[in-house]
Structure 1
Amino acid sequence: MAIHITSNASQEIIDTQTTDCCIVGGGPAGTLLALLLARQGIHVILLETHKDFDRDFRGDTIHPSVMEIMAELDLAESLLQLPHTKMHRMSLGTSEKQAVIADFSHLKTAYPYITMLPQVKFLEFITTEAKKYPNFQLVMGANVQEILRVNNTTIGVSYRGQGGWHEVRAKLTVGADGRHSKLRQLGEFEAISTSAPMDVLWFRLPKHREEAPGGMGRIGRGHIVAMLDRGEQWQIAYVIPKGTYQKIRHQGLEILRQSVIEVVPELVDRIAFLHDWSQIAFLSVESDRLKCWYSQGLLLIGDAAHVMSPIGGVGINYAIQDAVVASNVLSKPLKTGTLNVDDLAQVQRQRELPTRVIQTFQSLIQQRIFAPALDSQNSQPFQPPRWLGLPGLRDFPARLIAFGVFPAHVKM
């Protein structure tokens, strides 16, 4: 039976491996799914295009729902041995007045906070655990270029790396390769996009020991600045109107520094540390979800299936819950060799509603709070939403950010 490869490239294949599940993408979703499957004796090959996990300004927030998943795997206490900080509440306001928009300390969980841990450390921790199982294999520097198909069924991928071209053939291929997913592109999946009124510039500034831990957001003068605690540093998100990055670059770094301290005056004594554009990472904020997350033999999860806005830092949370549900649903069919497209559809059915709800919530925040705040012509001072003070709704944002709609749990 002939194999049809999606690319027209004719490359000499050095070797071909076979496995139960080939996962493309070594982010939170891909690494955790690999660990979950490996623990159950399923053979897994995880392909990561980079040669290490160390990339700047990846999401560093681990939500209570993820910590509960780690506890179900008996890994929570070991994870918390890594250097980290805890965010017990999120606040938003001006330099004069702050409003708590999410207080996690009231949540009924053993982990009533968001754990701030560099994502590189989290990924290394998960893959180190996975390497304890002989049926797990991690290939770094594996640049996936092609999907292998037989009669419209995906049977694996080919990748470039380690001196040539290689094939991995699998019962199931999972795309967990992020917001710029190669497998989404190769599989010609159709997405539903939602507009975002903003982009983000990320950079870091020193944090003084006496400053309170956690995170906060500031609004003022047509700008928004969010600050996340990274121990000795603040990771800062400077939110800008959509499509204005080149204009800001043209105005120069001094104008940017001045606008930051206008919103957060207490940074004036260290803003000079920001002295080169190479210290700043640009994030084009997008939000979308696929109409269908799967085809025969192929499933997409995490940002590959639904690109999240950075609001609430929920992207990692939802990607990991996707991985848990995928493991729960697909482990048995993978073991028994009975996997079919209905099993893949079940993963989407369980995860699509939570995804749609959180994206609707993010869109509401963007349109009702962020868009007016970024309007330089808007002279109205920021006022927190009135419903934050209502007893029945006060804890809603914290619960939604911390757990999502239907928290996923590992089936033992």
Structure 2
Amino acid sequence: MSTELHVDCAIVGGGPAGLVLALALVRRGIRAVVMEKHADFLRDFRGDTIHPSTQDLLAEFGLLDAFLARRHDDMQRVTFSWYGTELTLADFTRLPTRRKVMTFMPQWDFLDLIANAAARHPEFTLLRSTRATGLIHDGGRVVGVTGDGPDGEVSIRARLVVDASGRDSDVRAAAGLAPMGMASAMDVLWFRIPKAAGERQPFIQAGSGLVIAIDRGDFFQVAHVIPAGTWHGTDADLDATKQRVGRVAPSMADAVAAITLDDVHLLRVRLERLRRWYVDGMLCIGDSAHAMSPAGGVGINLAIQDAVATARILGSALREGTPTPADLHRVQRRRMWPTRVTQFVQHRMQGPLIAEREQDAPLPFALRMLRDHPRLTRVTARFVGLGARPESL
């Protein structure tokens, strides 16, 4: 069985960038289809930080109350434990935003919220369990995308195709777009450990590497930053990981001692971006345009800001006709500067994040500055909480 659809915008990828773009477009009366390869949003080890600027966007969408009604945790300050010495990395309490906190919510809950809001508009269609298989061309222009869904082949004709399918995008490759990368010095190991009733762990602990603990209610989701290329999935790698985490976070040592190789998931960190985000008829946003490091948890924020800028800049063109390459270039021009700034900072952060130092070693210079000059934590809060170039509807 074959299905053919005709819409204004076909979006590949039902992550934060794709769904927020769809919501922003259908609110403008623009027909949008999102093609999502999974049946649901329930995937573990995904970013779940909702920054203050994103919460302002939720308020503009009229969704902030619904967002806050879902299970979440707020953080006014990002704190940091260096071998037991407590420091503040970012203080959100003075940001010019509605909510002066960074909020943690499982990404599947956030995506459900956005998808449900978009579904209230007749212009929105979400195709689940549908994997993009190729692009449709007319002459030298992209005019649609094909997919394989539960009921067979899908063909979507659109004035614009937006690829928001992530850093390993086949759609991007089919368009002949290839990213350029900066050397990444780190990878991230993700795993879970059980949580006892009333137990608390510092959000970030460091010294001999870096350990982040996200409180999921009945367990901690743990990220451990390691030097790039040093994890090969062997028993020796697992033993070394347990020893490093035990040195940095002694309170986790017993729980981490029980994890197995099957419990550990590797994220190979890539810092890369496209020189050109578009071809005639197709635009890349989010991780498809620029893969970010998990440092600062800013990747989701940046992707959502891409989506909002895309809808604002291209909304009129999609309502009135077909966006031109010049229109698509306007989106790239708007969003390239914050991408470059963010990646530059993340690249500079890699060394301090993975450095192994003895317990009696002095604090790194950047941490000494934050300790001795607390006002600097407002600067880091703006970078993390707002981003280099916040967007609005």
What is residue 132 of structure 1 aligned with on the other side? 120
Out of 299, 314, 334, the residue aligned to residue 330 of structure 1 is 314
**1:259 and 2:241 equivalent?**
no
Change (3 A) 1:269 1:251: closer
Out of 332, 339, 342, the residue aligned to residue 348 of structure 1 is 332
Deviation of the 1:330 alpha carbon: 0.8
- Where does 1:386-405 land on structure 2 (aligned, <5 Å)? 386-388=368-370, 389-390=372-373, 393-405=376-388
Given that 2:80 and 2:202 are in contact with CA atoms closer than 8 Å, whether structure 1 keeps it comes out as: no
Deviation of the 1:96 alpha carbon: 2.5
Out of 281, 285, 290, the residue aligned to residue 265 of structure 2 is 281
What is residue 225 of structure 1 aligned with on the other side? 211
Deviation of the 1:252 alpha carbon: 5.5
AA matched with 2:190: W
AA matched with 1:396: V
Given that 2:79 and 2:202 are in contact with CA atoms closer than 8 Å, whether structure 1 keeps it comes out as: no
Given that 1:116 and 1:230 are in contact with CA atoms closer than 8 Å, whether structure 2 keeps it comes out as: no
AA matched with 2:267: L
3-state SS of 1:167 partner: strand
Given that 1:84 and 1:231 are in contact with CA atoms closer than 8 Å, whether structure 2 keeps it comes out as: no
Given that 2:15 and 2:164 are in contact with CA atoms closer than 8 Å, whether structure 1 keeps it comes out as: yes
What is residue 49 of structure 1 aligned with on the other side? 37
Unaligned stretches of 5+ in structure 2? none
In 2, Cα distance between equivalents of 1:202 and 1:271: 12
AA matched with 2:220: W
Deviation of the 1:313 alpha carbon: 0.2
Given that 1:87 and 1:214 are in contact with CA atoms closer than 8 Å, whether structure 2 keeps it comes out as: no
What is residue 5 of structure 2 aligned with on the other side? 17
In 2, Cα distance between equivalents of 1:370 and 1:272: 23
AA matched with 2:255: R
Given that 1:148 and 1:156 are in contact with CA atoms closer than 8 Å, whether structure 2 keeps it comes out as: yes
What is residue 318 of structure 1 aligned with on the other side? 302
What is residue 293 of structure 1 aligned with on the other side? 277
What is the CA RMSD across the aligned residues, in angstroms? 2.0
Moved more, 384-393 or 259-268: 384-393
Given that 1:94 and 1:218 are in contact with CA atoms closer than 8 Å, whether structure 2 keeps it comes out as: yes
In 1, Cα distance between equivalents of 2:41 and 2:113: 11
Given that 1:85 and 1:231 are in contact with CA atoms closer than 8 Å, whether structure 2 keeps it comes out as: no
Out of 186, 201, 222, the residue aligned to residue 236 of structure 1 is 222
In 2, Cα distance between equivalents of 1:403 and 1:207: 32
In 2, Cα distance between equivalents of 1:339 and 1:185: 21
- Where does 1:58-69 land on structure 2 (aligned, <5 Å)? 58-69=46-57
Deviation of the 1:214 alpha carbon: 7.0
What is residue 292 of structure 2 aligned with on the other side? 308
3-state SS of 1:80 partner: helix
Deviation of the 1:91 alpha carbon: 2.6
Out of 199, 203, 215, the residue aligned to residue 203 of structure 2 is 215
3-state SS of 1:395 partner: helix
In 2, Cα distance between equivalents of 1:214 and 1:116: 15
Moved more, 128-137 or 261-270: 261-270
1:61-98: CA deviation from partner (whole Å, max 9, x where unpaired): 00001000000111011111100111222233423212
Moved more, 378-387 or 20-29: 378-387
3-state SS of 2:69 partner: coil
TM-score by length of 1: 0.90
3-state SS of 1:83 partner: coil
Given that 1:216 and 1:228 are in contact with CA atoms closer than 8 Å, whether structure 2 keeps it comes out as: no
3-state SS of 1:268 partner: helix
Deviation of the 1:304 alpha carbon: 0.4
Given that 1:88 and 1:214 are in contact with CA atoms closer than 8 Å, whether structure 2 keeps it comes out as: no
In 2, Cα distance between equivalents of 1:213 and 1:75: 31
Deviation of the 1:392 alpha carbon: 5.7
3-state SS of 1:72 partner: helix
User: What number of residue pairs does the alignment pair up?
Assistant: 391
**1:249 and 2:234 equivalent?**
yes
In 2, Cα distance between equivalents of 1:181 and 1:88: 35
Unaligned stretches of 5+ in structure 1? 1-12
Deviation of the 1:391 alpha carbon: 5.9
3-state SS of 1:115 partner: strand
3-state SS of 2:234 partner: helix
3-state SS of 1:177 partner: coil
In 1, Cα distance between equivalents of 2:50 and 2:140: 38
AA matched with 2:286: G
In 2, Cα distance between equivalents of 1:213 and 1:396: 25
Percent identity of paired positions between Structure 1 and Structure 2: 38
3-state SS of 2:10 partner: strand
In 1, Cα distance between equivalents of 2:82 and 2:313: 46
3-state SS of 1:86 partner: strand
Deviation of the 1:381 alpha carbon: 4.2
What is residue 364 of structure 2 aligned with on the other side? 383
AA matched with 1:243: G
- Where does 1:188-203 land on structure 2 (aligned, <5 Å)? 188-203=176-191
What is residue 100 of structure 2 aligned with on the other side? 112
Out of 169, 172, 179, the residue aligned to residue 184 of structure 1 is 172
In 2, Cα distance between equivalents of 1:58 and 1:392: 31
3-state SS of 1:270 partner: helix
3-state SS of 1:112 partner: coil
Given that 2:2 and 2:153 are in contact with CA atoms closer than 8 Å, whether structure 1 keeps it comes out as: yes
Given that 1:23 and 1:34 are in contact with CA atoms closer than 8 Å, whether structure 2 keeps it comes out as: yes
Given that 1:195 and 1:287 are in contact with CA atoms closer than 8 Å, whether structure 2 keeps it comes out as: yes
Deviation of the 1:210 alpha carbon: 3.8
